[in-house]
Amino acid sequence: MRNTSPIGTPVTRRTALAAFLGASGLIGIATLGGCSNDAQQADDTAASTEATDAQTTDAAAAPTNSADALAEMAWWQKTIVYEAYPKSFLDTEGQGTGTLAGITAKLDYLAELGVGAIWLTPVYKSPQKDNGYDISDYYDIDPRFGTMADMEELIEQAATRNIRIVMDLVMNHTSDENEWFIESSSSKDNPKADWYIWQDAKEDGSAPTNWRGIFGGSAWTWNETRKQYYLHTFAEFQPDLNWECEEMRKELYRMAKFWLEKGLGGFRIDAVTYIKKPAFTDGKSDAEDGLSSIHAATANTPGILDFLNEFKAEVMEGSDAFAVGEANGVSASELSSWVGENGVFDMIFEFSHILVPQGGNETWYEPDDWTLTQLKSAFTASQEATATNGWYPIYLENHDQARSVSQFLPDCTDTVAGAKMLGTVLLTLRGTPFMYEAEELGYTNVAWSSIDDYDDVSSHNQYKMALEAGKTEEEALEAVHKHSRDNARTPMQWDTSKNAGFTTGKPWLPVHDDYEECNAETLGADPDSALSYYRALAQERNALPVLVAGDYHELMAESEEVYAFERVCGNDRAVILTNWTGNEATYDAALVDGLSFAFGTHGTSEAGKLQPYEGAIFA
């Protein structure tokens, strides 16, 4: 028998999809927090009298209401994290790219959104060939963003507003302009010779393996000085570090502690899946190019946890800072080692819901038909995986994804309503919401007329792959329009002035052409805007602790129109209903019996009915 909610609606579906998501590493968990003490735990331990007694004791000690549960949670479980893309946030120098001083200048704007932490994509010194994910000096700020004094000022000023700064930590690779790599590539016997991954060519002179890099093409590049190939999971200018080298690892740990000592609130750890490498052998060809996915070959290679436990012990222990890993490929049996009290991270970003509207394809030109029930199943599988032993970082957008309104609601004609509805989901699921820059403004994708207009390296590689697969230029460009990372990287639109108030110079990427209507100043003065809604919903989230601390149970699981779920903690209960279509939708009004309308996209809501793209909270 399936578990049911208090009103008898089926809510738990431990289906084959959930098993797949766990085995594929598309779910992740973190430290237990909140109200959770589900009956699922009892199912797992009922065979043991001792375990059942322990469960009874735990239940007796569990919080009986949301406020008590909230008091037991870590600061990062209760707050909202805002991912800022500094290059596109605000330019205070007229140079066309954003600065750290620009973020400091807008701290009050972020505080009004209920933000308690700001995650910065990389601001270290970098050639900026991959927008900062190619680091040339971990101990310095790139002059494009400012100085170390600017960084320290941002940390200090944010703290006065109860906001912590979180940095992106890139430990899988560096820039090929990093002094470490320059020295490593100079000979086979220099002090840093083993800091990167070097291999001899095959007998025929070809690359050591047939692995394809994430951005396309061979994952190996020849170095004439050493007469060897070096490995790069991503672009050829991003050589992979060799985590088997203890001296290199220790230097990374020293670097991370250097930043924590400046008062950081945590790290988002980039591409951590790939730091441990397996034996260098060919994989089965999986595309027309004859190459094999490096992700399939290297993701979560056995032994990776030894490295990450060392990182936790050397860097994170004794600090209240959090670590959230960008990691997929974690099997269900490994979750307790990756997160929680004995895990290596506090949270893990997973990709199951993001992959649904992309059809699960690595190649953008492949068809991506999907259904709402598939998306809901992905959300629920992740929520269930974190229900009794974890915490979930919720996100719909980030710097690598298309805009959520365009990605999840491709046929939406009322993008403001769509943005509000998606915001309702983001801020009411169980976990820590990660809001991305300008998501609160309801941004949509750009559609530039030429591939030459795009800066994103992956967009150019995917465009080339589409042409090589026989697609027309129009079809290849359409795929870029849908999936380009530049969709998320256009400059922040602050007001109606030239370049949307982002810069007095020439912006590094064109400003979206809707900036005169869609900007923070205009939308902030409009009580019906997406921005005003996000601000109010953040306040409502604080006013209803069950939205932070309550357990999650899905409702209406089979509906292709409505995503509905409840949050429950003791006697506290809230029901969230969202209509993902442009038509009116109905539901059984008994779902909200005993509850009153608390908040929503339309100002009020009739029990049993949802207007197009409506989101409603009953509590």
Active site residues: 270, 326
| CA–CA dist 49, 535 (Å, integer) | 49
| CA–CA dist 35, 386 (Å, integer) | 12
- Give the containing element (helix H, strand E) for 18: helix 16-23
Residue with tokens 């860097």: 315
Q: How far is CA 523 from CA 402, 425, 513, 516, 612, in A?
A: 22, 21, 16, 10, 21
Residue type, 403: R
Question: 575: which 2 tokens?
Answer: 């029901």
| HEC letters along 410-463 | CCCCCHHHHHHHHHHHHCCCCCEEEEECCHHHCCCCCCCCCHHHCCCHHHHHHH
Q: Do 180 and 192 meet the contact criterion of CB atoms below 8 Å apart?
A: yes
| CA–CA dist 31, 389 (Å, integer) | 7
Report which of 142, 141, 90, 82 is spatially closest to residue 259, judged by C-alpha positions: 141
| CA–CA dist 263, 141 (Å, integer) | 16
| Burial of 62 per CB tally in 10 Å (0-12, 13-18, 19+) | middle
User: Hey, how many other C-beta atoms are within 10 angstroms of the C-beta on 51?
Assistant: 14
Instruction: Please list, in sequence order, all residues whose beta carbon lies within 8 angstroms of the beta carbon of residue 487, skipping any fewer than 6 positions away.
Output: 401, 402, 403, 406, 445, 446
Q: Do 196 and 241 meet the contact criterion of CB atoms below 8 Å apart?
A: yes
Instruction: Please list, in sequence order, all residues whose beta carbon lies within 8 angstroms of the beta carbon of residue 423, skipping any fewer than 6 positions away.
Output: 439, 440, 530, 533, 534, 537, 615
CA angle 464, 465, 469 (to 5 degrees): 120
| CA–CA dist 352, 333 (Å, integer) | 18
Question: 217: which 2 tokens?
Answer: 């093409």
